[in-house]
Amino acid sequence: LAKTTQPISMDSYEGQEVNITCSHNNIATNDYITWYQQFPSQGPRFIIQGYKTKVTNEVASLFIPADRKSSTLSLPRVSLSDTAVYYCLVGIYNQGGKLIFGQGTELSVKP
Amino acid sequence: GAVVSQHPSWVICKSGTSVKIECRSLDFQATTMFWYRQFPKQSLMLMATSNEGSKATYEQGVEKDKFLINHASLTLSTLTVTSAHPEDSSFYICSAKRDSQNYGYTFGSGTRLTVV
């Protein structure tokens, strides 16, 4: 499984756009990139998944460059409720592969 | 859709006793479920993969005789912490993948275990 590297923590203010970058230099051809969000004392929640280029849903956007060795989760206009830990995972999840979590990025949104 | 229910949400038990945690997929079938443990300020650590109708696969370093996993149906997996000790106190989380879904594993809300 490809190892991922993310910043340990990030600070932001309400209304700002937040970009969290994840490095995955050893990503395999069939690997997908998936991001999860976790609030304290809760299970992780799926945010977005992509394979290449750009993916957007109602919550976030995911930017993946052509070499796929990194990815950036973009959260538009964050609010206090976006304070959480964000995990980047890489793997063949569409084939039932197990999810291995890295350290994650603790995002703190301030008023 | 794709809801995973975990019960109980918290439990306190005495040292030496056993505790069972249930993980149910409410609106889908899950051949495979996963169990994680999370200590404060740390990431989730995969403990084992639970397979319906067969033995669970444990990650390296996880004692299979201490953490008993049973996946008797396509909607239920249980984790039993046997002879619990204070060091087993942690946040336990299960997840399941809808067999017909290409991505997006669903996680339970977690169980806070405190062993006193």
Which of B7, B24, B93, B107 would you mutate first to test chain A, the one with the most A CBs within 10 A? Answer: B107
- Distance CA(B9)–CA(B50), nearest Å, equals 20
Would you state the pLDDT for residue B5?
A: 95
Name the pLDDT band for A9 (thresholds 50, 70, 90): very high
- A92, pLDDT greater than 80: no
- Distance CA(A89)–CA(A103), nearest Å, equals 10
Would you state the pLDDT for residue B16?
A: 97
CB spacing of A44 vs B102 below 8 angstroms:
no
| Sheet containing strand A70-75, strands side by side | A18-23, A70-75, A61-64, A53-56
CB spacing of B6 vs A43 below 8 angstroms:
yes
Q: Chain-wide mean pLDDT for chain B? A: 92
Given CB atoms, is B97 within the 8 Å cutoff of chain A? yes
B47-67 tens-digit pLDDT = 999 988 889 999 999 999 999
- B100, pLDDT greater than 80: no
Instruction: Give the chain B residue nearest A95 (alpha carbons).
Output: B102
Name the pLDDT band for B39 (thresholds 50, 70, 90): very high
Would you state the pLDDT for residue B33?
A: 92
A22-75 tens-digit pLDDT = 999 999 898 889 999 999 999 999 999 999 999 999 999 999 999 999 999 999
Of B1, B37, B34, give the one whose Cα is nearest residue A93. B34
Name the burial class of residue B68, with classes exposed (0-12), middle (13-18) and buried (19+) by CB atoms within 10 angstroms of its CB.
Answer: middle
CB pairs A-B closer than 8 Å: 54
Residue B68, H or E segment: strand B67-73
Q: How far is B8 from chain A (nearest CA, A)?
A: 13
Given CB atoms, is B32 within the 8 Å cutoff of chain A? yes
